[in-house]
């Protein structure tokens, strides 16, 4: 299937590793020009070089913390004509409710929600002019199954669904689609490191910790393993494609069936 991404310019926030990297790689492979973003120049340069070498695609780099307003404004100024925005960057941290101070609630909102809201606001005028665009929020199964061990994270992922649906409503009747994608537990760099730390400190293998996680913490998973960043990227690449023109305002799951719902 030709995803018809030639000539499209895509910005993927937080794409030097994990799910974001897989999305940037896949979009470049499918012919889009891609802007890779991370917070350090070294990480961005490395990711750009790897994606360029592996895909022969057009890959730009933008090193900055896109949860900051000035960085977001500069990204859009420096790279005019963004057709596809993937709001991927996000942070997570397990913490008991009583231990989450106001500052953490604010930081999670700023990084996980407001960064994407702001970028969407910045790219929308040009998308409207072109009457074409794709805005994709990388939310989580945690948007609908709020993890008791990180309620602040769950709150941000639910908020993304609200923003995404509302934004889709606001551009009804245009060629712009807005969707959220909900990965389940995925072996990205962040989650991989997290599980490896647990394995090391409890003298277990990664596979043992993974099996226990799906037995006790996420027993509803139908695939009984972590998803891969590539599995998420494949869905995102389709949603970013002109072929997905009738998919908008949707919350699309690539969660291994962990959300126990047929819808
Ligand atoms: P990750 O930690 O493996 O990678 C995140 C990338 O974003 C890294 O390159 C990091 O440097 C970058 N980044 C983080 N904050 C940034 C910032 N402020 N500015 C620029 N870059 C920044 O993360 P991941 O697990 O791949 O998660 C990506 C997204 O997927 C997040 O929004 C997360 O909530 C969501 N998600 C992940 C999982 C999972 O199990 N991994 C499940 C559901 C949803």
Q: Residue 262 has what pLDDT?
A: 87
Tokens of 171: 């551009």
Query: Are both 216 and 233 inside the same structural domain?
Result: no
Domain holding 201, by residue range, is 187-226
Query: Are both 213 and 248 inside the same structural domain?
Result: no
Residue 19 CA to ligand 1 centre (angstroms): 7
Q: Residue 263 has what pLDDT?
A: 86
When divided into structural domains, the chain yields a total of: 2
Query: Are both 193 and 101 inside the same structural domain?
Result: no
Specify whether the CB–CB gap between 127 and 148 falls below 8 A.
no
How far apart CA 263 and CA 255 sit, in angstroms, is 13
Query: Are both 198 and 150 inside the same structural domain?
Result: no
Ligand 1 binding site (Cβ under 6 Å of any ligand atom): 13-14, 16-20, 37-39, 65-67, 88-92, 111, 138, 140, 183, 185-186, 188-191
Within-domain flag for 4 = no
Query: Are both 172 and 93 inside the same structural domain?
Result: yes
Ligand 1 atom nearest to CA at 87:
32
Query: Are both 215 and 129 inside the same structural domain?
Result: no
Query: Are both 129 and 208 inside the same structural domain?
Result: no
Read off the pTM.
0.97
CATH of the domain at 83: 3.40.50.720
Within-domain flag for 103 = yes
Query: Are both 242 and 211 inside the same structural domain?
Result: no
Query: Are both 210 and 126 inside the same structural domain?
Result: no
Within-domain flag for 239 = yes
Within-domain flag for 1 = no
Active site residues: 153
Instruction: Give the tens place of pLDDT for each residue, 36-48.
Output: 999 999 999 999 9
Q: Which of 21, 183, 235, 251 to mutate to test the pocket of ligand 1 (most atoms within 8 A of CB)?
A: 183
The angle that helices 115-130 and 151-170 make with each other, rounded to 10 degrees, is 20
Query: Are both 150 and 30 inside the same structural domain?
Result: yes
Q: Which of 71, 190, 214, 253 to mutate to test the pocket of ligand 1 (most atoms within 8 A of CB)?
A: 190
Query: Are both 123 and 143 inside the same structural domain?
Result: yes
pLDDT by residue, tens only, the chain of 263 residues: 999 999 999 999 999 999 999 999 999 999 999 999 999 999 999 999 999 999 999 999 999 999 999 999 999 999 999 999 999 999 999 999 999 999 999 999 999 999 999 999 999 999 999 999 999 999 999 999 999 999 999 999 999 999 999 999 999 999 999 999 999 999 998 889 989 999 999 999 999 999 999 999 999 999 999 999 999 999 999 999 999 999 999 999 999 999 999 88
Residue 17 CA to ligand 1 centre (angstroms): 8
Within-domain flag for 259 = no
How many alpha carbons lie under 13 Å from residue 144 in its C-beta half-sphere? 18
Residue 129 CA to ligand 1 centre (angstroms): 31
What is the Cα 23 distance to its own chain's centre?
8
Q: Which residues have CB under 8 Å from 86's CB, separation 6+? A: 10, 11, 12, 13, 15, 20, 23, 27, 136, 138, 236, 240
Tokens of 224: 């009984």
Instruction: Give the tens place of pLDDT for each residue, 78-123.
Output: 999 999 999 999 999 999 999 999 999 999 999 999 999 999 999 9
Within-domain flag for 262 = no
């Amino acid at each position: 299937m030709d995803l018809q991404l030639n000539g499209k310019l895509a910005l993927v926030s937080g794409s030097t590793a994990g799910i974001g990297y897989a999305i940037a790689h896949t979009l470049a492979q499918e012919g889009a020009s891609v802007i890779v973003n991370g917070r350090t120049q070294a990480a961005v340069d490395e990711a750009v070089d790897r994606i360029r070498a592996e895909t022969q695609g057009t890959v730009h780099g933008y090193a900055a913390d896109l949860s900051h307003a000035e960085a977001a404004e500069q990204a859009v100024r420096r790279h005019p004509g963004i057709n596809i925005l993937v709001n991927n960057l996000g942070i997570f941290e397990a913490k008991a409710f009583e231990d989450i101070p106001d500052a953490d609630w604010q930081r999670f909102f700023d990084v996980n929600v407001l960064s994407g809201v702001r970028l969407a606001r910045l790219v929308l005028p040009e998308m409207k002019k072109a009457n074409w665009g794709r805005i994709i929020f990388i939310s989580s199964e945690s948007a609908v199954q709020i993890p008791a061990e990180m309620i602040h994270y769950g709150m941000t992922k639910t908020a993304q669904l609200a923003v995404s649906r509302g934004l889709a409503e606001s551009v009804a009747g245009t060629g712009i689609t807005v969707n959220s994608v909900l990965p389940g537990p995925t072996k990205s760099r962040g989650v991989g490191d997290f599980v490896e730390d647990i394995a090391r400190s409890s003298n277990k293998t990664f596979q043992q910790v993974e099996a226990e996680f799906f037995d006790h913490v996420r027993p509803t998973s139908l695939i009984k393993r972590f998803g891969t960043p590539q599995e998420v990227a494949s869905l995102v690449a389709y949603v970013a494609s002109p072929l997905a023109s009738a998919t908008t305002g949707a919350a699309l799951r690539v969660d291994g069936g962990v959300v126990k719902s047929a819808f």
